[in-house]
Amino acid sequence: MKTDYCIGVDFGTDSVRSIIVDAHTGEEKASAVHFYARWRDGLYCDPTKNQFRQHPQDYVEGLEQSIKKCLAQAGNTVQANIVAISVDTTGSTPVAVDESGTPLALLPSFSDNPNAMFVLWKDHTAVKEAAEINEHAAQYGGDYLRYVGGVYSSEWYWAKLLHTFRVDEGVYQAAYSWVEHCDWIPFLLTGGQHANTIKRSVCTAGHKGLWANEFGGMPPKAFFSSLDPRLNKIVERFPKTVYAANQPAGRISKEWAERLGIPRTTIIGIGAMDAHMGAVGGQIESYYLSKVMGTSTCDMLVVPKNEFGDKIVKGICGQVDGSIIPGMVGLEAGQSAFGDIYAWFKQLLSWPLQHMLIKSDIADAEVTKKLMVDIQNGLLHELSKQAAALPLSEHAELSVDWLNGRRTPDANQTLKGMISGLSLGSNAPSIFHSLVESTCFGARKIVERFQEEGVPVKGLIGVGGIAQKSPFVMQMLADVMQMPLKIHKSEQTCALGAAMFAATIAGVYPSVERAMETMGPGFGQEYYPNKTRKELYDRRYQLYNQLGDCLEKN
């Protein structure tokens, strides 16, 4: 039997994960995680300003170390039969590069400059610029925002570029181009020498960069120059051709083949955003909303082109032909905070542990440290257990989930979250219940927007760590949505999706759909809506909408 192995690399917010998969069976042979050292230490970030930057060296080190750890686990036979590598990354996470395609932060003169680093997806420093883009698009005409839901977000490519260039003249002068993370990694692995040769992904270009076939590429240069002349050199250098993830970026360079110890014949695939490849790894189906649930959510939907017609879905993160599965229209929505909200509440409750318990001399330092870690590790589990036991009440605490702004429907990153209905009887489990409920209501809002725009949603697919590990959240999601929710078996769907694309570009499969069928492990747990809770959650959802409307108006 022929032996071919593929590597899928998933660049997340906190770490990079690599897996090696048997391309013919989908069997995982090895996996490894590398945590970003500079990010872990909080370098180059300022949460008070919504500034989140990542140093390119963290990505380079993570790429090399995670793959090497995998290869060491898998052994020489696997190592000698690696046929392809594909990567996914967070997005929109762009960076300024020089003419050689090198991120400016890798140059000595910019090595500690946050503006010369990758601007992480969750960075919201460009709120003002996003508002300008929206106002400018409305005045300019041409409806150039129609394929990104009609609203441009501060989380996306052009807003981040404009903000960076305005606040840092040195970066503006040194920048030759502005490149997404998922496009730069394949360029790095293939030994690219010039920024003009970077192959851009249709995934990021379409969903975050305003690229569309209908525009012949980007909107006209005058659209950008009349907004700000600083954009001219970037739009001029953006290629007219973009690529789907089932196409190769090239073969691995001699340098990287030697660094990793894999064959020079290894093919490197075009990159894509994590949730898009995660939807493939999670075996997405037409009209099923694939919810990739982590710190935020990315909600992915695919519809065959001939069935989608000429619909324009308002208020989402874009509709792009081939951004998820070639030949289908990929639709993206999502919430700016999901697991981040639970993590925030955990951090809030942990304040006494971190600032008082650690200083206590009642027990020795080692015991105190172990106690603190034990409590923190079990906190969300116990909150979920206690919250699940609470009686449901129409008048319980009610929250709005905009703690990191609103991604969809109708992006607005200036919005803030809210907890209402507090009383002296409120406690940690009841507040946690309202926070989880708010994230489920935010998810329902997205489904309703698709339905209102003529795109039916038949069911839900849960992907990611929260889907795997939190039955309380998943059952509430099914109840609030009144839809079945099936959970994909893989714990690493993004990396697995990348491996599926790698197997496709290597020629093991004629299409990524065939790769999904063979390499996917299928679904495990399934949650069904509790019909007795429908009426109560419908009333609570209406209150959530009213509270959100009030919050937004004020």
Q: How confident is the model at residue 79 (pLDDT cuts 50, 70, 90)?
A: very high
Other Cβ atoms less than 10 A from the Cβ of 167: the count is 12
pLDDT of residue 366 exceeding 90, the answer is no
Could you give the CA distance from residue 293 to residue 33 in angstroms, rounded to a whole number? 19
| H-helix segments, 405-533 | 428-452, 465-469, 471-481, 493-505, 512-519
Q: What is the mean pLDDT of residues 155-179?
A: 98
141: left (phi over 0), alpha (psi -120 to 50) or beta: left
Q: What one-character DSSP code corresponds to residue 405?
A: B
pLDDT of residue 464: 86
Q: How far lies 194's CA from each of 92, 103, 252, 534, in Å?
A: 22, 12, 16, 57
Position 332, amino acid: E
**What φ, ψ does residue 485 adopt, rounded to 5°?**
-135, 115
pLDDT of residue 370 exceeding 90, the answer is no
Summarize pLDDT for 62-73 with one digit per residue, the tens: 999 999 999 999
Q: Tell me if residue 51 falls in helix, strand or coil.
A: strand
pLDDT of residue 361 exceeding 80, the answer is no
Q: What is the mean pLDDT of residues 449-477?
A: 95
Per the prediction, the chain carries an average pLDDT of 95
% pLDDT > 90, the chain? 92
**β-pair partners for 51:** 46
Q: What is the mean pLDDT of residues 105-110?
A: 98
Could you give the CA distance from residue 102 to residue 195 in angstroms, rounded to a whole number? 8
| Peptide bond before residue 391 is cis, with ω within 30 degrees of 0 | no
Instruction: Give the side-chain half-sphere CA count within 13 A for 106.
Output: 16
Q: How confident is the model at residue 356 (pLDDT cuts 50, 70, 90)?
A: confident
Of the candidates 330, 270, 366, 305, which has an alpha carbon nearest to the alpha carbon of residue 148?
A: 330
pLDDT of residue 295: 86
pLDDT of residue 209 exceeding 90, the answer is yes
Q: How confident is the model at residue 1 (pLDDT cuts 50, 70, 90)?
A: low
Could you give the CA distance from residue 181 to residue 87 in angstroms, rounded to a whole number? 10
Domains of the chain, start order: 5-121+161-208+244-282+491-520 (3.30.420.40), 339-488+525-553 (3.30.420.40)
pLDDT of residue 194: 98
Alpha-carbon 56 to chain mean position = 18
Summarize pLDDT for 264-298 with one digit per residue, the tens: 999 999 999 999 999 999 999 999 999 999 889 99
% pLDDT > 70, the chain? 100
Using CA atoms in the order 126, 132, 136, 142, what is the torsion angle rounded to 10 degrees? Answer: 30
Could you give the CA distance from residue 458 to residue 301 in angstroms, rounded to a whole number? 11
Q: What is the mean pLDDT of residues 334-338?
A: 94
Q: How far lies 149's CA from each of 325, 408, 487, in Å?
A: 20, 9, 28
| H-helix segments, 325-426 | 339-349, 351-355, 365-388
Summarize pLDDT for 289-320 with one digit per residue, the tens: 999 998 899 999 999 999 999 999 999 999 99
pLDDT of residue 191 exceeding 80, the answer is yes
For residue 32, give every residue at least 6 positions away whose Cβ sits within 8 Å of its Cβ, in sequence order, or none: 17, 18, 65, 66, 67, 69, 70, 73
Burial class (CB within 10 angstroms; exposed 0-12, middle 13-18, buried 19+) of 388 = middle
Q: How far lies 249's CA from each of 118, 182, 210, in Å?
A: 21, 11, 22
Q: What one-character DSSP code corresponds to residue 511?
A: S
Q: What is the mean pLDDT of residues 472-490?
A: 97
pLDDT of residue 340: 92
Of the candidates 125, 142, 133, 291, which has an alpha carbon nearest to the alpha carbon of residue 214?
A: 142
pLDDT of residue 371 exceeding 80, the answer is yes
pLDDT of residue 363: 72
Q: Between vectors from CA 393 to CA 390 and to CA 394, what angle results, nearest 5°? A: 150
The pair of three-digit structure tokens given for residue 442, joined into one six-digit string: 């935010």
pLDDT of residue 373 exceeding 90, the answer is no
Q: What is the mean pLDDT of residues 115-133?
A: 96
pLDDT of residue 179 exceeding 90, the answer is yes
**What φ, ψ does residue 3 adopt, rounded to 5°?**
-115, 115
**β-pair partners for 5:** 22, 82
Q: Tell me if residue 499 falls in helix, strand or coil.
A: helix
Identify the H or E element spanning 425: none
**What φ, ψ does residue 313 adopt, rounded to 5°?**
-90, 120
pLDDT of residue 355 exceeding 90, the answer is no
